[in-house]
Amino acid sequence: MFPFDVETHWPREVADRAMPTYHRWMECMIYASLAGLPAAGVPAGFGPQGLPMGLQLIGRPRGDRALLELVAAFAD
């Protein structure tokens, strides 16, 4: 999901699927938290219109250090 206009409260449709609530469009991000897995967001480049895109990395259980090392390597 690329960034949307600041005036838009939440995207009403993502990949041709209706998003009836604010939380619905973010649901792909909650599973790591519910499972107690470490997660981090990193930049992943830009789309065709120049808007930034991010990538969520999810680590193994109790794999916080390994995930942070990966994030640090990604940033270099």
Does some domain include residue 7?
no
| pTM for the model | 0.72
Listed as ranges, residues in the chain with pLDDT below 70 are none
Predicted pLDDT at 14 = 86
Count the domains in the chain. 1
> Does 57 reside within a domain?
yes
> Which pLDDT score is estimated for 65?
97
- Provide long-range contacts, Cβ within 8 A and 24+ apart, for 47-56: 47/2, 49/2, 51/2, 51/3, 52/2, 52/3, 53/2, 56/29, 56/32
Is 5 among the domain residues? no
> What's the DSSP call for residue 9?
S
pLDDT of residue 64: 97
User: Do the domain assignments include residue 37?
Assistant: yes
Contact 58, 38 (CB under 8 A): yes
Q: Which domain holds residue 19?
A: 13-75
